[in-house]
Amino acid sequence: MDLLADMPEESTTTTTTTDEPRSPILAVDLDETIIQSDTEELVPGAKVALIALKKLGWNIIIWTARGDAEKFVPEVLGRYGIPFDAVNANLPDMKDKSRKIVFDAVVDNKNVDFGDGWESVVRELEKRRKGWKHKGVTKIFDPISGVEKSVDLDKELEEEFKDSFDSSFFWRE
């Protein structure tokens, strides 16, 4: 699928003013969503998708927990020619000066969709908790209680989450 086919060269939408609607804002995580954190190589499809979204008029905020983000993000994304409008901050012309980033959608490799409400969120989180593992018997560490325990894995969950086993709280022995 060619996301860039039939895209306009430049967006005709504008960013924030009080009388005009603003362009949509997308907050995107960096590590494991745009680049691989250990190699700094692109996640497949990231560049094409972000260029396509930019051409469709989206503003893109890179939202990352990296301590060196203000220097690192422009360097690495510039190397790949990936567009973005801000790093860990609202767009410069946003009237809202809250510490919370204003966005219309977020893309993150650990995102849980809130669309169906808290019941579906809890179900999804529990499904993930039971499915996370890494090399052997799955263990979990509850940082609140400080208790470590084994988790029985359902074979269907194991298959469904075989590519998602990345967490500091879950590991296999």
Residue 77 resides in a domain: yes
Tell me how long the chain is.
Answer: 173
Pair 101, 136 in one domain: no
3-class DSSP assignment, residue 25: strand
Domain boundary among 107, 142, 157: 107
Confirm whether 13 is domain-assigned: no
Query: For 78-82, 143-147, 148-152, which range has the lowest pLDDT when averaged over its residues?
Result: 143-147
Q: Are residues 90 and 139 in the same domain?
A: no
- Is residue 115 included in any domain, yes or no? no
Q: Is the pLDDT of residue 137 over 70?
A: no
Mean pLDDT estimate for the chain: 75
Q: Cα–Cα distances in Å, from 20 out to 13, 15, 91, 152? A: 10, 8, 16, 54
32/102 same-domain check: yes
65-69, 121-125, 163-167, range with the lowest pLDDT:
163-167
Same domain, 81 and 138: no
How many whole angstroms separate alpha carbon 98 and alpha carbon 91?
A: 12
The confidence score (pLDDT) of residue 19 equals: 52
103 and 140 in a single domain? The answer is no
| 101 and 150 share one domain | no
Region 135-144: mean pLDDT is: 51
Any domain includes 112: no
Whole-angstrom Cα distance, residue 139 to residue 148? 7
| AA identity, residue 145 | S
Q: Are residues 97 and 131 in the same domain?
A: no
Q: 138 to each of 21, 48, 62, 123, 132, how far by Cα in Å?
A: 49, 36, 33, 19, 7
Q: Which of 23-32, 89-98, 142-151 has the lowest mean pLDDT?
A: 142-151
pTM for the full predicted model: 0.65
- Kindly state whether residue 14 falls inside one of the protein's structural domains: no
Q: Looking at the domain assignment, is residue 4 inside a domain?
A: no
48-77: pLDDT as tens digits: 999 999 999 999 999 999 889 999 999 999
Q: Please identify, among 75, 107, 139, the residue that sits at the C-terminal boundary of a domain.
A: 107
Tally of domains in the chain: 2
- Greater pLDDT, 92 or 142: 92
Report if residue 7 sits inside a domain: no
Q: Which two tokens stand for residue 47?
A: 């560049």
State the residue range of the domain holding 95. Answer: 25-107
Q: Tell me: do 102 and 65 sit in the same domain.
A: yes
Do both 93 and 29 map to the same domain?
yes
Q: Nearest 5°: phi and psi at 125? A: -65, -40
pLDDT tens for 77-93 read 999 999 999 999 999 88
Indicate whether 156 pLDDT > 80: no
| Each residue's pLDDT tens digit, 12-37 | 333 334 455 778 999 999 999 999 98
Mean pLDDT in residue range 96-123: 84
- Kindly list the distances between the CA atom of residue 166 and the CA atoms of 14, 121, 172, in Å, as whole numbers in the listed order: 39, 19, 11
